Amino acid sequence: MAGRITIINTSLIFVMIASLTGIVYSAYQYQNIYNINNTLQSGQVLNNVAYPLYAKYSAAYFQGSKDDYKHAVQSYGQALEIQAKSSKPDTVLQAIIQYNIATNLFLFGLSRDLNDDGSLKEESKYSFMQAKAAFEQSLKLNPENRRAKFNLSLLNSVTPINMKSAPKDQSGVELSNIPVGLP
């Protein structure tokens, strides 16, 4: 009888140790999440290497809020790559990131000055075309995104009809009969 009580007590001690370990680990996770949420809510950049997607996302959001749209788009692109390479790609999160890319491109295009004749500069046209593609990609991933629908219609109302961008220089274009890249 004493041996059986010892076995039961020993097994209960192991269960208690396992439970306490679980409680301590859960408290650690809760504190970590609480700190991350406070950092994000205060508008600061998250510098936690354990969460690279959220670190990039918060950096991009911070850059966009400081009107640094070009770098914000780059950071959102990096966050999109991280999310796409993850073990569980989330299309809703990808749609949100695409929406943020499009919004920053749209704002970047709006922040550019106009030409002397009142027409859009090429930088603005290019930004608007990229924003349109990103809004469409966001809607492809999440067709229920009402903000993306609204911003796409707003973008379409701002851009001139039949807007075409000037052709960009191609890397293989010959200049005065000398192919580019040859000595």
**Residue numbers of the domain that contains 11:** 1-42
The tokens describing 22, both together, are: 């679980």
Provide the whole-model pTM: 0.67
Q: Are residues 4 and 87 in the same domain?
A: no
Whether 182 maps to a domain, the answer reads: no
Same domain flag for 27 and 102? no
Give the pLDDT confidence of 11-42 residue by residue, as tens digits: 999 999 999 999 999 999 999 888 878 877 77
- Residue 181 confidence class, pLDDT cut points 50, 70, 90: very low
- My answer on whether 77 and 59 are in the same domain is yes
Same domain, 16 and 73: no
Residue 175 lies in a domain: no
Q: In the predicted model, what is the mean pLDDT of the chain?
A: 82
User: How confident is the model over 151-163, as pLDDT tens digits?
Assistant: 999 998 887 665 6
The predicted pLDDT at position 50 comes to 67
Do 148 and 91 lie in a common domain? yes
User: Does residue 128 contact residue 154 with C-beta atoms inside 8 Å?
Assistant: no
For residues 28 and 116, membership in a common domain is answered with no
**CA pair distance 125, 166, nearest whole angstrom:** 9
pLDDT tier at 61 (50, 70, 90 boundaries)?
A: confident
Provide the number of structural domains found in the chain: 2
Domain shared by 57 and 29, yes or no: no
Report whether pLDDT(169) > 60.
no
pLDDT digits (tens, 9 = 90+) for 90-101: 888 899 999 999
CATH number for the domain harbouring residue 52: 1.25.40.10
User: Which DSSP string do the residues of 39-74 spell out, in sequence order?
Assistant: HHHTTPPP--TT-HHHHHHHHHHHHHHTT-HHHHHH
Same-domain status, 81 and 1: no
CB 109 within 8 Å of CB 70: no
Q: Are residues 145 and 60 in the same domain?
A: yes
Residue 8 CA to residue 142 CA, distance in Å, equals: 55
Q: What pLDDT does residue 148 have?
A: 92
Residues 18 and 56 in one domain: no
